[in-house]
Amino acid sequence: MKPITEYVDYRKVILDFYNEKKQASVFSWREFAKSSGFSSAIFLKYVCEGKKNLSVSAAASVASAMSLAGFDAAYFNAMVVYASAKTDDDKMKAYEEMCALAKKRRVRTLGANEYVFFKSWKNSLIRELAPAMPGAKPFEMAKVCKPLISANDVGDTLAFLENEGFLKKDDKDVYHQTDKTISIGCVDVIPVAARNLQRQMGELALDAVSLSPSERSMSGITMGITRNGYERIVKALAEFRKQILNIVSEDGDTEQVYRLNLQFFPLTENVRGER
């Protein structure tokens, strides 16, 4: 099996253990379930297939059956808590517990740096701003931010971005982006953090309403549409985003950092019902 911190889904841990054990000796789901304290011979098989869920109370017995102890057992239990989380806040809290356990071992949880990146709007702002202000100190960057943030926040954000490989500094102390875009990745908590980032950016947009029309562009349409119309609009918005990215890549230099929010959401339930 891989090191436990290379997993986020406890089901994959169970499945990898089973497959590895079965290749090395005669081993069955029945034997595995019995050693874990389950009466159903195929319960753990159903867990791996996503048909059943492992409860937090049963996590310790399954960990013991897989000979996980100490840190590995605690991390496995944290994965079960993470998978059992019902709300975004609970899911983020459980994932951060996994990250905290891994940090004590001086290792990193899968997707941890992307998760932290999407938790705060300051990360994406400073990632764009730092390369545009070569040689600038944190207090100089802080002065041009809207809304204003502290120099300490800028310094901490720069340290995070550099340590996690989102920015790199050349021999002249000038920052450069390591990648043009940041991927959300395959860990399902990262989109949760991204939704949190969208909320933060939405709040910033509310404050930006007071800016002069020469500095911001805001408009909206309230419309009545069908499901087919919705899907056509979503497709058009996706094409529009591509056009914007093309303009950004062709524009080259940076004079100012902007945020573009695309928001398209329902104001009512379906008044016609299912068709």
Look at residue 170 and tell me if it is in a domain.
Answer: no
Output the CA torsion 171→151→204→196 (10° steps).
70
Instruction: Kindly report, residue by residue over 149-189, the tens digit of the pLDDT.
Output: 999 999 999 999 999 889 999 988 899 998 877 767 667 78
Asked if residues 157 and 123 have their Cβ atoms less than 8 Å apart, the reply is yes
Kindly tell me the burial class for residue 76, based on how many C-beta atoms sit within 10 Å of its own C-beta (0-12, 13-18, 19 or more): buried
- CA 38/CA 30 separation, integer angstroms: 9
DSSP 36: H
Overall pTM > 0.75: no
Instruction: Kindly report, residue by residue over 93-139, the tens digit of the pLDDT.
Output: 999 999 999 988 888 887 888 888 988 999 999 999 999 999 999 99
Q: Which residue segment(s) compose the domain that 18 sits in? A: 4-109
Look at residue 88 and tell me if it is in a domain.
Answer: yes
**pLDDT: which is higher, 275 or 220:** 220
Provide the number of structural domains found in the chain: 1
Q: What CATH number does residue 39 fall under? A: 1.10.260
